Structure 1
Amino acid sequence: MTLRRIAVVTGTRADYGLLYWLIHDLHQAADFELQLVVTGMHLMPRFGRTVEMIERDGFPIAATVDLALESDAPHAVARAIGTGTAGFADAFARLAPDLVVILGDRFEALAAATAAYAQRRPIAHLHGGELTEGALDDGFRHAITKLSALHFTAAQPYRRRVIQMGEPPERVFNVGAPGLEHLVRTPLLARAELERALDFPLGETAFLVTFHPATLDEGDPADQCRELLAALDAFAQAQIVITLPNADPGGQAIIALLEDYARRHPQRCRLFAALGQQHYLSLLRCVHAVVGNSSSGLIEAPSAGCATVNVGKRQRGRLRAASVIDCAPRRADIEAALRRALDPGFRAGLARVRNPYGDGAVAGRILAVLRQVEFRALLHKPFYDVEVTAHA
């Protein structure tokens, strides 16, 4: 039997967590050869060099692509896309994958998609069709959709949107959000065990904070972060776990503010470059709210029974469960949203929240599709026209 080679690209701790069970099942499958390509923040010491986490998980790494990202300035990110495209071109030429799997909407994902498309390597894209109107990621995601030949969306409205973009319906599959699979398959830690692992007590009230720069927001991300930290000061009784933002424009200024905040509150605040999926999702089960603007607050937190305080415009346009509280990036608004998240009446309804992103049984659905598809046939992609009603 000839194994079909599947290259899976991962560039951040976040997308690796979302891809973990798909990577695991591809690695275990008798009819596929996993080619794991590691890039981006995984290779950067200031973000925890999480390539070592992948190695500890036991997955063989077929290639690494260094983006040579010198800073988080826009011109440096643009240059990193070019460097990444060249690096992925070399990696794909050597590995000769039959299919390239790319998740999401980051600039390194666009670089990988560009290199694969130019080499006639068909692309399977996860998490297409979504909107994050406050970030450059929105454009990156839609561009990757048009370079891709196979699509696995996280919800039915997103499937419809990918089809609206001209993708043939028979190539677009609603499988749900892959990140939810951890809540089904990953053994999570009990509170006491988690506190020992983190060496940090969670106390009676705890928040999990992740704040990324909203790269299309007109506001200064550092000023917005200051407003968030000022709102947290109103909850002096709360223990706070903070994870670092992505390597996006404006991220370094946010990191400096978070590091300073953690230094000034050593008893009630702990900062982590990367928690890993088991610790992160275990925290979702224990904290009172996820605070910030990470997609995990909209996708994973509702299934964990955790409230979300979603700050600012970064996730504007995404589906959200009733457990998500949106607020402006101002101290008073964030503080009010946190008080609502702590309200006993609001908390009583968290267990009944329906997550619009599915049930977490994702990797098996994707592999079932891959086993039915002739990859070479994917290179010829017709444009699917839909009837559009114009509005004046």
Structure 2
Amino acid sequence: MKRRIAVFTGTRAEYGLLYWLLKELKASPSVDLQLIVSGMHLSPEFGDTWKAIAQDGFDIDAKVEMLLSSDSAVGVVKSMGVGLLGFADALERLKPDCLVILGDRYEALAIAQSAMIMRIPIAHLHGGEVTEGAYDDAIRHSITKMSYLHFVATDVYRKRVIQLGESPDRVFNVGAIGLEHFNRSPVMSYEELSNSLEFELNAPFFLVTYHPVTLEGEDPAQSFTSLLAALDQFPNHQVIITYPNSDNGGRTIIPLIEAYASRYPKRVKAIASLGFRRYHSALKHALIVVGNSSSGIIEAPSMGVPSIDIGIRQRGRLAAESVLHCPAHVLAIQEAIAKASSPSFQELSRNVVNPYGDGHTVKRIVEVLTTCALQSTKPFFDA
């Protein structure tokens, strides 16, 4: 009998990371793949990215509407409540043998709670990591404690998951799943990327993604305005800016992005969602990745591209030498961009070793998912 494996996705970035895992599970003769789509995917405001999932040839087995049009912490909590209702119905109908969840988003926490109460074993990807500037940090560790199987990105993170009381024989260091793209996904040429964006790329460009910091009380608009002011100091460089995620504070950034792109139509391209192929192509051709997205830390080093991590959102995450950290202040960002643009730092970045693995992760994950015994309960492991 085929094993029913459900995979959850709530954001464009997470789907891009899961793409090759979904392909392998769909192709496996021993798996009945079930895909649950929710969160930002179903929002026109964030690009209706569920359509891209369907265009990639995946059947969506459940769409769970949960995202309220709110930019507050209360709105996020209410969205989780709506999600719990929808996830309960979806999981009851699909009855998966296992639920795969990646990362640390509040959408993921909502479905993890549902699965845990309904005694559905959870396989969690990217546990054990630390991002001190976002409530994602607490969410990630909470999902770890609700999960039975753990697929982590480094030995440091494996030790941390074990430290949380998880048995070592259920914690697998497979590397970062997003690096699978560098071995299997074709990259657009510079010209193809330019045509796809309907934007003439004719100068070195920065790839920018900035998400709100959900802890520490930082004003996302103020920090993002500092970033834009720093970018203004490099008028001979173009900028591709993607929308932030749907965390509280994210919607205050979107109008700033659109206004900036309108002010410099030949220099700046704003886009709600690049999709994973265009994103990785832009990453490959970018001079620098700028912002506070995890991709700048985890994926950019494998492309040999330097990245600038702004502020505290990713503080505590393991990073390669090609990642520069700086506070969310104009001068600091400006100095980091200048350093990352220098020939010496560009050369260092091209030869850096990425601590997140070799990109051969999916087959390791599928082997465990299809062969291991699954349980919904587990003892606490005392190291």
TM interval, shorter chain, is over 0.9
Output the CA distance in 1 between the equivalents of 2:295 and 2:74. Answer: 28
1:226 counterpart residue number: 225
| Cα distance, 1:219 vs structure 2 | 2.1
Output the CA distance in 2 between the equivalents of 1:306 and 1:282. Answer: 12
| Cα distance, 1:301 vs structure 2 | 0.4
Judge conservation of contact 1:215–1:248 (CA < 8 Å) in 2.
yes
Q: Is 1:154–2:159 an aligned residue pair?
A: no
Output the CA distance in 2 between the equivalents of 1:85 and 1:201. Answer: 44
Residue pairs, 1:140-289, within 5 angstroms:
140-289=139-288
Identity of aligned residues (%): 53
Output the CA distance in 2 between the equivalents of 1:39 and 1:12. Answer: 8
| Cα distance, 1:204 vs structure 2 | 3.0
1:389 counterpart residue number: none
3-state DSSP of counterpart to 2:161: helix
Out of 342-351 and 170-179, give the one that drifted further: 342-351
Output the CA distance in 2 between the equivalents of 1:307 and 1:54. Answer: 30
3-state DSSP of counterpart to 2:236: coil
Output the CA distance in 1 between the equivalents of 2:248 and 2:363. Answer: 36
3-state DSSP of counterpart to 2:339: helix
Residue deviations 1:140-161, cap 9 Å, x none?
Answer: 1111000001100011100000
Output the CA distance in 2 between the equivalents of 1:68 and 1:315. Answer: 24
| Cα distance, 1:285 vs structure 2 | 1.2
Output the CA distance in 2 between the equivalents of 1:57 and 1:263. Answer: 31
Residue deviations 1:101-134, cap 9 Å, x none?
Answer: 0000000000000000010000000000000100
3-state DSSP of counterpart to 1:25: helix
Cα-Cα RMSD: 0.8
Judge conservation of contact 1:242–1:271 (CA < 8 Å) in 2.
yes
Output the CA distance in 1 between the equivalents of 2:67 and 2:351. Answer: 46
| One-letter identity of the residue aligned with 2:209 | T
Out of 208-217 and 190-199, give the one that drifted further: 190-199
2:123 counterpart residue number: 124
| Cα distance, 1:380 vs structure 2 | 2.7
Q: Is 1:379–2:376 an aligned residue pair?
A: yes
| One-letter identity of the residue aligned with 1:279 | R
Residue pairs, 1:312-391, within 5 angstroms:
312-375=311-374, 378-386=375-383
| Cα distance, 1:198 vs structure 2 | 1.3
| One-letter identity of the residue aligned with 1:312 | G
Output the CA distance in 2 between the equivalents of 1:209 and 1:70. Answer: 24
Output the CA distance in 2 between the equivalents of 1:350 and 1:291. Answer: 14
3-state DSSP of counterpart to 1:316: coil
| Cα distance, 1:38 vs structure 2 | 0.1
| One-letter identity of the residue aligned with 2:141 | H
3-state DSSP of counterpart to 1:93: helix
Judge conservation of contact 2:206–2:240 (CA < 8 Å) in 1.
yes
3-state DSSP of counterpart to 2:61: strand
1:61 counterpart residue number: 60
3-state DSSP of counterpart to 1:245: coil
Judge conservation of contact 2:127–2:141 (CA < 8 Å) in 1.
yes
Shift in alpha-carbon separation, 1:96–1:309, aligned structure 2, 3 A: same
| Cα distance, 1:86 vs structure 2 | 1.3
Structure 1 residue ranges (4+ consecutive) displaced by more than 6 angstroms after TM superposition: none
Out of 87-96 and 69-78, give the one that drifted further: 69-78
Judge conservation of contact 2:31–2:370 (CA < 8 Å) in 1.
no
Unaligned runs of 5+ in 1: 387-392
2:14 counterpart residue number: 15
2:87 counterpart residue number: 88
| One-letter identity of the residue aligned with 2:382 | D
| Cα distance, 1:203 vs structure 2 | 2.6
Q: TM-score, normalised by structure 1?
A: 0.97
Residue pairs, 1:22-101, within 5 angstroms:
22-101=21-100
Judge conservation of contact 1:217–1:314 (CA < 8 Å) in 2.
no
| One-letter identity of the residue aligned with 2:234 | F
Aligned residue pairs: how many?
383
| One-letter identity of the residue aligned with 1:52 | K
Output the CA distance in 2 between the equivalents of 1:176 and 1:108. Answer: 23
3-state DSSP of counterpart to 1:61: coil
| Cα distance, 1:374 vs structure 2 | 1.5
Out of 61-70 and 311-320, give the one that drifted further: 61-70
| Cα distance, 1:205 vs structure 2 | 1.8
Q: TM-score, normalised by structure 2?
A: 0.99
| One-letter identity of the residue aligned with 1:223 | Q
| One-letter identity of the residue aligned with 1:384 | F
2:291 counterpart residue number: 292
| Cα distance, 1:372 vs structure 2 | 2.3
Residue deviations 1:287-333, cap 9 Å, x none?
Answer: 11000000000011000111101100000010000110100100000
Output the CA distance in 1 between the equivalents of 2:221 and 2:127. Answer: 29
2:111 counterpart residue number: 112
Unaligned runs of 5+ in 2: none
Out of 157-166 and 251-260, give the one that drifted further: 251-260
| One-letter identity of the residue aligned with 2:377 | H
| One-letter identity of the residue aligned with 1:247 | S
